[in-house]
Structure 1
């Protein structure tokens, strides 16, 4: 892995960790990566016991053994005419296996979330480890999940993407595409938002 990718991963994990125990920290993940000096925020609390999670929020749940799970998301910035996608692949212990964060052409958000599903499947196909294995792909877009699971229909202008997803079984991947709540998709959301500031694809196997 290139040094710049290692640096980005370290800053990403620090950002997630701080957000988990200091809700007052004012900076977003993409701001931490652009300017790591913001980690010196003077009001940053000393490490303490984090508050108990709200039981009403659905947190990320691990997949079954030997069945890795992708969480994917997309982000849109209409004022700059930008869209981006991101995703994280984790195993049954919650260990990160792969990350991606990429800019894409500007498009409606549900279409972008289909592109995120497509990118996760393309990355999986590039690794022989996942051929003949079952994968789960979760998205917080009910429309995107519905269109990907239907045999036909969906937005006409991305039929080539939908047809690829619908025929993924014929390429050796066994995939379940399902809907998840936003609370369980926060890592993918952060990676998607980072993609708005990128000019190239970022993919890291861990």
Structure 2
């Protein structure tokens, strides 16, 4: 039975090699030559052959080759389903907002933009290493061409806030990976938002210890709320030292998940 299963593609165990085959070397070749998903099927089949042998010896019950292969593939599919579910659960648990290291501040920024409209909103929140509120801003953007441009404007506004508060050693987090990558690009002169990136870097270089990084959207809830508020505002707003009422629930939510 084993020979009939393993001699077919993609395992291709040659009958002429039996019984003198070095099984360890053959397995090593299969590990190098087969795709990972196919090699996983091979391992599962070998496990099934071993279980079938024991069942035959001790219980006098034997599976056909077809039943053995089908049951092995079913086990493998169930394993992948459970494993994928566990990984997704772990990833969801890991994707929570965390403040920067001791002695640093964290500035989360975000933008709100609707494709069928030409205006947007931006917002940002500044917190210390224990998650305590320091400042926040929200403002409308009357004219904007794209979500990425809006995100860059949110970063620029955040840098202006840091400069006005004379804050340095700050980690800036945005959930727009494209905006973060283009701002950090050495040669941005030919990019669509090259002029805006020039403005951002000009302010950035006037501050000390500023770092910009991408963060998942699930870690950017407070800034997302502020951007939505900014979308509806008529004028820019800034809050210092005391968080506005509409922001306290999401701030508490982030802090509670730190414990």
RMSD over equivalenced CA pairs, Å: 1.8
Secondary structure (helix, strand or coil) at the match of 1:150 reads: coil
Task: Give 1 or 2: higher helix fraction.
Answer: 2
Task: Give 1 or 2: higher strand fraction.
Answer: 1
Asked if 1:97 is matched to 2:149, the reply is no
Q: Which stretches of structure 1, 4 residues or longer, exceed 4 Å deviation after superposition?
A: 154-157
After superposing the two structures, state which structure 1 stretch, 134-143 or 145-154, moved more.
145-154
Asked if 1:81 is matched to 2:118, the reply is yes
Residue ranges of structure 1 left out of the alignment (5+ in a row): 1-53
C-alpha separation in 2, matches of 1:89 and 1:177: 14
Secondary structure (helix, strand or coil) at the match of 1:152 reads: coil
Partner of residue 172 from structure 1, selected from 207, 219, 241 = 207
C-alpha separation in 2, matches of 1:169 and 1:193: 25
C-alpha separation in 1, matches of 2:176 and 2:113: 14
C-alpha separation in 2, matches of 1:112 and 1:154: 19
TM-score (norm 1): 0.67
Q: Which has the larger Rg?
A: 2
Alpha carbons of structure 1 residues 190 and 154: separation in structure 2 relative to 1, 3 Å: farther
Asked if 1:182 is matched to 2:220, the reply is no
Partner of residue 233 from structure 2, selected from 189, 198, 202 = 198
Secondary structure (helix, strand or coil) at the match of 1:164 reads: helix
Q: 1:80, CA displacement in angstroms?
A: 4.2
Aligned 8 A contact 2:160 2:203 in 1: no
Aligned 8 A contact 2:174 2:215 in 1: yes
Asked if 1:110 is matched to 2:145, the reply is no
- Structure-1 residue corresponding to 2:49: none
TM-score (norm 2): 0.54
Partner of residue 64 from structure 1, selected from 95, 101, 105 = 101
Residue ranges of structure 2 left out of the alignment (5+ in a row): 1-88, 242-259
CA displacement, residues 61-116 of structure 1 (integer Å, 9 cap, x when unaligned): 11112210111000012344321101111110101111111101232001110110
- Structure-2 residue corresponding to 1:122: 160
